[in-house]
Amino acid sequence: MFKLEGVKPKIKLCTPFFWLLLVFFTFGPFLTNTAQASTLSDLQKQRQQLQSQIEQNQKAAQQKQQEADNLNKIINQLSGNIDQTQTKITQTQVQINQTQKDIESTASDIRQKEGELKVQNDNLNMTLVDMYEIANRSTLDLVLGSENISSVISYTDYLDTLEMKVENDIAKIEKIKSDLEGQKKQLEDRSAQLQALQKNQRNYEKTLQGQKSQKTTALNTAGAVMADLQAKIDEAKKYGAQLDSQIANIIASQRKAVNVRDKGTSTVGLSWPCDYIYISQYFGEPWNFNPSTPHTGIDLVNAMGTPIYASAGGTVYIGSQGSMGYGNYIIIYHNARFATLYGHLSSMTALTSQEVSSSQLIGYMGSTGWSTGPHLHFEVWEYGNRVNPLNYLP
């Protein structure tokens, strides 16, 4: 027998004190945790409060999503306005460029006409000098200098005609000059107006860009708030799953499994798929993971690994949604009218396309997918529509 050399036992193994110490060190932490654990009513109250928080956060997230959608619409509208403004600016710049060319062309025409006017003025001055000299000649000198009286008359008529021509030319040149100067003034005014319009449009674009930046910032802020709310929702759901698991364990320890496997089959030929301790959620109730969505079956709670049986004979389909939805699930197509679904299985014994008989073992209860603890999510489909399983079970 193994002995402790040199060590004198101070506690005899057979004494009550030793066994008291053994129980304390072995089960002490468990007893402490049990003493600190919440009662069932406390856990259920916490679960209700937590569900209320989840719903509030979900409503807040939906509101933030609506605000983000509205901001996005405004941003899209502002972007359209910016595009329109940019188009106007481009068109205005084309008009400005064309106006500048027109102004330069008009200025060139004015300079040319002014040159022509100078020549005309010089010619007019020379003509006026001649006319002045002729006008200062005496009638006797004019008669004596002419070959005959007809020449005198013709010369006089010529002077009158020349004078009229000069007056008409002066009036025409002055009109051309006035028109060109008016056109130049009009083009200069138009250029100033277009430049002012361009400046206004640029300011408008700058304003829109600033608004777009503000709205984008607000959208990002809303997105961050939504992400934070979603993180809180996910955290609350995770904590809720822990509470549900504790509640299920407490209830399971207080209840015995309901033996429903011996109830036979219903009038439509379906039987209960497993024994259960209690039904945690009924058909049509607000779904725990999304209260706005009704629950599509019944959740039968029992221990992990509880056998699951075919509710009726039929053809098996095996599916898996991983950590989402049903998790590991089986669908059995019984006939043209009925099919049944078995969700959150830990493992499956049936195979896809396998023909199973009523009450044949097809898998074991688990907590895969969206699940807060071991249970079977059981659905009945009638002509492809989910119906209340309790109306079709014995």
Which amino acid does the sequence have at 216? T
Confidence of residue 14 (pLDDT cuts 50, 70, 90): very low
CA–CA separation, 124 vs 117, rounded Å? Answer: 10
Q: What is the pLDDT of residue 185?
A: 82
* Residue 23 pLDDT exceeds 50: no
Task: Check whether 295 has a pLDDT greater than 80.
Answer: yes
pLDDT in tens, 299-308: 999 989 899 9
Choose which CATH entry (1.10.3470, 1.10.357, 1.10.287, 2.40.10) describes domain 45-230: 1.10.287
Q: What is the CATH class of 257-391?
A: mainly beta
What span, in angstroms and rounded, lies between the C-alpha atoms of 351 and 359? Answer: 16
- Read off the pLDDT band of 274 (50, 70, 90): very high
In the chain, domain spans: 45-230, 257-391
pTM of the model: 0.41
Which whole number is the average pLDDT over 314-328? 90
Element (H, E) at 316: strand 314-320
- How far is CA 347 from each of CA 89, 90, 298, 350, rounded to the nearest angstrom? 69, 69, 20, 9
Percent of the chain with pLDDT over 90: 27
For residue range 180-224, what is the model confidence (pLDDT) as tens digits? 788 778 778 877 877 887 787 788 778 778 877 877 777 777 677
Q: Which of 52-61, 149-158, 197-206, 369-378 has the lowest mean pLDDT?
A: 149-158
Average pLDDT along the chain: 75
Residue 130 is predicted with a pLDDT of 62
Q: Which amino acid is at 371?
A: S
Out of 88-92, 240-244, 358-362, give the one with best mean pLDDT: 358-362
- Per DSSP, helices labelled H in 138-278 are 139-145, 149-254
**CB atoms inside a 10 Å sphere around CB 379:** 21
Between residues 275 and 156, which one has the greater pLDDT?
275
Tokens of 313: 């004979």
pLDDT of res. 103: 73
pLDDT at 231: 79
28: confidence class by pLDDT, cuts 50, 70, 90: very low
Across the range 174-178, mean pLDDT stands at: 77
Q: How far is CA 170 from the centre of its chain?
A: 75
pLDDT at 13: 39
For residue 233, what are the CA distances in angstroms to 55, 245, 372?
8, 18, 15
